[in-house]
C-alpha cells in the first residue's frame, strides 16, 4: 500500500510539472511516448473544410461533416491512433475524404467496429492505423439519420440462418453447397459491416452447414438471394429466393421479424402460407 501511494504521488507530481511546462511540451511528450501521432495536425490547424463519409456498399449512403466541433472530435480520435504495419484483411465499410481546399483531399478507408487486433482498421495509400471505435459512436452514429431496426446485426443474420436450416431440413438437402448472396440486398447494404460478416461466415459453418457468402467464379448447388423488403425500428421484412441448380427449381421464403415485449419474434414462411404472403 505504501509503495502504491508513493507511485501515485510521483505520478501526480509528474503530471503537475508537465502542466506547468505548457501544452506544446505535453504534446511532444505524448508523441515521444507513443500516445499520440502528429499525422493529423492539418485537422487541428483548421485546414479541413469538410469531411465526406461514404458507405462502400451503398453509394447513396453518404454524409458530409462541416461542423467544426465534430471535425475537432475526429482529430482527437485520430491523433491518438496507433500506426501499425499491416492493415486488416476485411473490406472497408467507409471511405473518409477530408478536403483541405479544392485541390487536396486526404483519403482513408475505414473498417467499422474493428479496433482490438494488431491489424489496422484505418488506412491511406501510405500509412495504416489502429483507431478507436469512438469513430463509430461519436462521429458516424451522430450524423446517421437512417434508423435501422433494433439489434439489426442479430435479427438479420439469424433470420437468414433460420431460412437455411428450415429449407435444408424440409427438402432433405443437407450436405448441398449453399451460396448466400447479400450483395444484391440494396435496402440493407448500408447496415452490413465487415466485422459482422466475418461472424456470420463462422456461423454458416456451424451445425454441419456447407454454406458460405457467395464468391465470384464459384458454383453452388443452392443459391440463396436475400432482399430486404422493408424495415423500421421494430419491424424487419425480407425475402430469400432459393435456386436449386441441379433441379432447376425455385422456392421463395418470407421473413417477418417484429420486436414485441423486449425481444424479436421471427416468422418464416413460404408461398404455401397464402394469407401471410398476401399481407407481406
DSSP letters, 91-104, are PPSEEEEEE-SSS-
Cα radius of gyration (the chain): 24
In the block, which residue shows the cell 471505435? 133
- Alpha-carbon dihedral sign for residues 139, 142, 143, 149: positive
The segments of the chain whose pLDDT lies below 50 read 2, 13, 20, 23, 26, 28-34
Phi, psi dihedrals of residue 167, rounded to the nearest 5°: -70, -45
- The pLDDT assigned to 274 comes to 81
- Strands in 178-181's sheet, in edge-to-edge order, are 211-213, 178-181, 222-232, 235-244, 249-260, 263-270
Q: How far apart are CA 252 and CA 270, in angstroms?
A: 6
pLDDT digits (tens, 9 = 90+) for 100-117: 987 899 999 999 987 667
Q: Tell me: domain 36-143, CATH 3.30.1490, correct?
A: yes
Q: Kindly list the domain boundaries of the chain, sorted by start residue.
A: 36-143, 152-278
Structure pTM? 0.84
Q: Do 227 and 253 contact (CB within 8 A), yes or no? A: no
pLDDT digits (tens, 9 = 90+) for 238-249: 999 999 999 999
- The pLDDT assigned to 32 comes to 45
- Tell me how far apart the 2 most distant CA atoms of the chain are, in Å: 78
Q: What's the grid cell of residue 74?
A: 475526429
- The pLDDT assigned to 2 comes to 47
Closest CA to 161 of 206, 122, 128, 119: 206
**Across the chain, what does the average pLDDT equal?**
87
- The pLDDT assigned to 1 comes to 54
Q: Do 257 and 237 contact (CB within 8 A), yes or no? A: yes
Q: How far apart are CA 64 and CA 73, in angstroms?
A: 15
Amino acid at each position: 500500500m505504501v509503495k502504491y501511494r508513493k507511485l501515485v504521488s510521483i505520478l501526480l507530481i509528474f503530471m503537475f510539472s508537465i502542466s506547468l511546462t505548457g501544452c506544446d511540451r505535453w504534446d511532444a511528450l505524448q508523441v515521444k511516448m507513443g500516445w499520440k501521432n502528429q499525422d493529423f495536425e492539418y485537422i487541428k490547424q483548421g485546414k479541413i473544410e469538410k469531411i465526406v463519409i461514404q458507405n462502400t456498399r451503398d453509394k447513396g449512403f453518404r454524409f458530409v461533416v462541416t461542423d467544426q466541433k465534430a471535425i475537432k472530435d475526429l482529430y482527437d480520435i485520430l491523433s491518438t491512433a496507433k500506426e501499425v504495419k499491416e492493415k486488416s484483411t476485411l473490406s472497408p465499410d467507409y471511405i473518409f475524404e477530408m478536403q483541405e481546399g479544392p485541390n487536396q483531399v486526404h483519403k482513408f478507408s475505414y473498417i467499422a467496429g474493428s479496433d482490438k487486433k494488431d491489424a489496422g482498421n484505418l488506412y491511406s495509400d501510405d500509412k495504416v492505423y489502429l483507431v478507436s471505435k469512438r469513430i463509430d459512436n461519436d462521429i458516424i452514429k451522430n450524423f446517421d439519420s437512417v434508423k435501422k431496426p433494433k439489434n439489426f446485426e442479430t435479427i438479420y443474420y439469424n433470420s437468414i440462418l433460420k431460412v437455411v436450416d428450415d429449407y435444408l431440413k424440409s427438402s432433405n438437402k443437407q450436405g448441398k453447397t449453399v451460396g448466400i448472396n447479400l450483395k444484391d440486398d440494396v435496402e440493407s447494404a448500408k447496415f452490413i459491416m465487415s466485422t459482422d460478416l466475418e461472424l456470420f461466415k463462422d456461423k454458416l459453418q456451424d451445425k454441419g452447414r456447407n454454406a458460405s457468402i457467395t464468391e465470384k467464379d464459384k458454383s453452388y448447388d443452392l443459391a440463396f438471394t436475400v432482399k430486404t423488403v422493408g424495415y423500421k425500428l421494430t419491424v424487419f421484412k425480407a425475402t430469400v429466393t432459393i435456386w436449386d441448380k441441379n433441379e432447376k427449381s425455385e422456392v421463395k421464403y418470407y421473413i417477418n421479424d417484429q420486436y414485441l415485449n423486449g425481444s424479436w419474434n421471427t416468422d418464416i414462411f413460404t408461398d404455401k402460407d397464402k394469407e401471410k404472403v398476401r399481407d407481406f
